[in-house]
């Protein structure tokens, strides 16, 4: 189910329906889909919501999503939190 939600979100995002995609990705992420949490973090960061980007990337990184761990480390480093970033 979570993969279907994620895949539908990807299709909607590709059609320019970003808000709808994020809703589906949020459902998939809540069900444990790390890629969905990563993509949510990307969108949130692009929209300027750093706290939400960090939250989603942290959730994905805890599930061993390497892109999220790298993004989170870079984000934390930019915020001057290099000690936490180094531990990612």
Q: Is 88 helix (H, G, I), strand (E, B) or coil?
A: coil
pLDDT tier at 81, thresholds 50, 70, 90? confident
pTM to 2 decimals?
0.88
Show the tokens assigned to 2.
């979570």
Does the structure show a pLDDT above 90 at 66?
Answer: yes
Task: Give the DSSP letter of residue 17.
Answer: -
pLDDT tier at 82, thresholds 50, 70, 90? low
Q: What is the CATH code of the structural domain delimited by 2-87? A: 1.25.40.10
Percent of the chain past pLDDT 70, that is, above it, reads 92
């Amino acid at each position: 189910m979570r993969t279907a939600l994620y895949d539908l979100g990807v299709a909607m995002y590709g059609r320019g329906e970003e808000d709808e995609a994020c809703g589906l990705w949020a459902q998939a992420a809540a069900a444990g889909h790390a890629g969905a949490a990563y993509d949510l973090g990307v969108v949130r960061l692009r929209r300027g919501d750093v706290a939400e980007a960090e939250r989603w990337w942290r959730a994905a990184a805890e599930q061993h999503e390497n892109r999220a761990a790298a993004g989170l480390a870079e984000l934390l480093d930019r915020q001057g939190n290099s000690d936490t970033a180094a531990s990612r």
